[in-house]
Chains A and B, each alone.
Chain A
Amino acid sequence: MEIFQYEFIKNAVITAVLINIACGIVGTFVVTKRIVFISGGISHAAFGGIGLGYFLGLDPIITAIPFSILAAFGIGFIAKKTKVGEDAAIGILWAIGMSLGIIFINLTPGYAPDLFSYLFGNILTIPFNDLIIMVVLDMIIVVVTILFYKEFKAISFDEEFSKVAGVPVDLLYFLLLGMVALSVVILIKVVGIILVIALLTIPAAICRQFTNNIKTMIFLSMSTGIILTISGLWISYILDLASGATIIMVLGLAFILSYLAKYLFLSIKKYKSSKEFCK
C-alpha cells in the first residue's frame, strides 16, 4: 500500500484505531440505552468549548473537555431532576452551546484558524499532541468501563429494576454521559461536531443486529469501526473527497447493507423452515 509511506496517513490509521476504541465501548451503551440524541446534544454543545478555547488562546480541544462534560451533566440533570423533558433538555443545551461558541469566536480578535475542521473534521490533519490526548481519554474510558461494566449494563437494560436492586443509578447515568462527553472530544477533530453521533452510533447499530451479548457487541463495534473508518479514509484519498464525510458515508452504506443482509438471511431461514414444515 503506497499510501502508508506518508506520516500523516500513519497518524490517520492510528487515529482510526484510537477513536474506535472509545466508540465501540461508549457507542454500544449509547445505542442500547437509546441516548443517541443526548450524545448529539453533547457534541453540539461542545462547540461552546471550542469557541472558549479560541477566546482564551488555548488549544480548543482542551477547553472542549470540561465544557462537554458540563453540557453532558447539564442535559442529564435537566432530564432527570426537573420536569422538563429529555428532548427539550437536549434542544436547549444544543442551541446554547452552539451560540456560546459563536459569541466566543465573535469576541476573539482576528480570524479563527481551522474553525472549519472542528465543524467537519479532518482525520489527515491530526497533530501528534491530539493523539496523546486521545490515548489518555481512551484509557479513562476503558478503565471506567472495566470497573463499572455490570452497572452500565444494568442501567442500560432496566433503570428501574437496577435502582431497586441497589445500583447507584443516577451516579452511573452521569458517569456514562461523562464518557459520552469524552468520546465527543476524541471525535471532534476527526469528523467534526456535526458528524460525531454517526461514528458513535453506526458501528454499534450495525453490530447490534448480529449479537445478543453486550461484551461481544463492544468488541465487534470496535473492529467494524476500525475497518470502516480506514476504508472510508482510503476511498476519500482515492476520490479526493473530504475524509470525515466520506467515512460517514461508508458507515451509512455499511449499515444499510448489513440491514439488508440480516433481512435476507432471516427470510431465507424462514423460507427453509417453512419448506421443511411442508414435507
Chain B
Amino acid sequence: MENIKSKKIQNIKYNKDKIIVRIKDLFFYYTGVPVLEDINISVWQNDFLAIIGPNGGGKTTLLKLIVGLLKPSGGIIEVFGSSIEMGRRLIGYMPQNSTFDLEFPISVFDVVIMGRYKGTMVRYSKKDVKETINTLDTVGILKLKDRHIGELSGGQLQRVLIARALARNPKLLLLDEPTSNIDTEMLQSFYELLVKLNKRMAIVFITHDVGAISVYVKNVACLNRKLYYHGSKEGSLGKLAEAYKCPVEILAHGIPHRVLGRHGK
C-alpha cells in the first residue's frame, strides 16, 4: 500500500517553475504566544532559497512545520501538491545537529542509510547500500563511513547529516543552519556542493548568519515572526529593515561580496 502511494508521487511530471511547497496564511502559536504569523510563501522547483532572520525568529519552527514535526495552528501547507505525510517522502531534511546523542553506538554509514528508509518490513536493499555509498562520496566523507559518529569533527558531522538528508534522492532539501559548524575556509566548497545539488533538487536553507547569503542563492526571505519575501536577492530593502528592526547596512557585507543594495539606493 505504502509503496504504491510513494510511486504515485514520484511519477508526477515536473514543469519548470512548478511550485513544490505552497504555504498559505500559516499561523503557529506556542502556548498562546505567536511564533509565526500570516506566512505566505512558495518554493519553486529548483529553487535555492535562503531564509534569514534573528534567533528566535521562527526559522526552525517553519521548517519543522513543513516536514510535519509540528502542526500549524492555522493555514495550509501543501508539499508536492499533496499532504505533508505524503509529500515529505520527497523531502530531505537536515535538522540542527542537537537532536541526538553523539555517544549512541552507530557508524556513519548506518546513520546515512536511515535516510533511505522505505517502510516497516522492508529491508535495506543492495541499491540502498549503493546509493548510501554514492551519497557519502558526494559529500566527501566516504572514507569515514565506518567511523563512530562520536569521533567526528563538527564539520564532518554536518556532512553526515546532509548525506542522511540526501540519501533518499529528494526533490527538496531542507537545511537547518547548515553552515553553523563549517569553518570559513570550508564554506566555499560547501556552497559549491549545494550549487551542484541544486541542479537536481530545490534547496531551502535557514541561517542566522547573514553573511551566508552568497552569490549562489537565488531567492532570499527574512523571517522574524512575519515573513518578508525578497525574491531574487535585490528585493525591497525597506522590508528587510522592518524584519530586522535594524539598519540594512549591517546585513550587507563588503562591496566585493555585496548581494543586497545599499540602504536608500
Contacts and interface: CB of A to CB of B under 8 A. Distances in A.
A212 B117 contact: no
Interface stretch (A39-47, A84-92, A146-154): A146-154
Contact of A161 (B2, B105, B114): B114
Interface of A: 32, 34, 147-148, 150-151, 153-154, 156-168, 208, 211-214, 217
B69 A157 contact: no
A275 B117 CA distance: 45
A224 to B, nearest CB: 15
A213 B100 CA distance: 16
A208 B118 CA distance: 28
A201 to B, nearest CB: 15
A157 B124 contact: no
Interface stretch (B86-94, B210-218, B222-230): B86-94
B105 A164 contact: no
Contacts of A166: 2, 88-89, 117-119
B164 interface: yes
B115 interface: yes
Max count, chain A CB within 10 A of own CB: residue among B110, B111, B164: B110
A212 B91 contact: no
Nearest to B117: A165
Given A163-B69, A168-B120, A32 B95 contact: no
Contacts of A147: 120-121
A164 B120 contact: no
B74 interface: no
Given A147-B121, A158-B99, A164 B114 contact: no
A212 B148 contact: yes
A156 B104 contact: yes
A10 to B, nearest CB: 35
A162 B117 contact: yes
Interface string B107-140: 1001100110111110110000000000000000
A104 B135 CA distance: 59
Size bracket, chain B contacts: 20 to 34
Given A164-B93, A212-B148, A157 B104 contact: yes
B100 A158 contact: yes
B206 interface: no
A119 B99 CA distance: 38
A66 to B, nearest CB: 25
Contact of A212 (B99, B107, B115): B107
B208 to A, nearest CB: 20
Contacts of B17: none
Nearest to B111: A157
A160 B105 contact: no
B106 A157 contact: yes
A214 B100 contact: no
A157 B100 contact: yes
A161 B104 contact: no
B114 A32 contact: no
B117 A167 contact: yes
A217 B119 CA distance: 24
B67 interface: yes
A213 B146 CA distance: 10
29 contacts: A32-B104, A34-B101, A147-B120, A150-B123, A150-B124, A153-B110, A157-B100, A157-B111, A158-B99, A158-B100, A158-B114, A160-B69, A161-B114, A162-B114, A163-B68, A164-B69, A164-B88, A165-B114, A165-B115, A165-B117, A166-B2, A166-B88, A166-B89, A166-B119, A167-B117, A211-B105, A212-B106, A213-B105, A217-B105
